[in-house]
């Protein structure tokens, strides 16, 4: 594997991790909102 391919793979992995972090943060935020406003349907 050349350095360039490895770098692309690394960027892709970073993007995936950032995306999953955002999903976790958003889901936690929704859960907190749901606690304050039980009428909100998840």
**Hey, where are the domains in the chain?**
1-42
Give the per-residue pLDDT at 36.
Answer: 73
Give the per-residue pLDDT at 15.
Answer: 92
Give the per-residue pLDDT at 3.
Answer: 62
Alpha helices in the chain (DSSP H): 3-36
Give the per-residue pLDDT at 2.
Answer: 57
Provide the 3-class DSSP secondary structure of residue 34.
Answer: helix
Cα–Cα separations (whole angstroms), residue 9 to 1, 4, 23, 27, 29:
11, 9, 21, 27, 30
1-42 pLDDT per residue, tens: 456 777 888 899 999 999 999 999 999 998 888 777 766 555
Cα–Cα separations (whole angstroms), residue 7 to 1, 12, 17, 21, 22:
10, 9, 15, 21, 23
Give the per-residue pLDDT at 35.
Answer: 78
What is the model's pTM? 0.56
């Amino acid at each position: 594997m050349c350095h360039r391919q490895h770098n692309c793979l690394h960027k892709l992995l970073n993007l995936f991790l950032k995306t999953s972090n955002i999903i976790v943060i958003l889901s936690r935020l929704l859960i907190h909102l749901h606690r304050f406003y039980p009428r909100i349907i998840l």
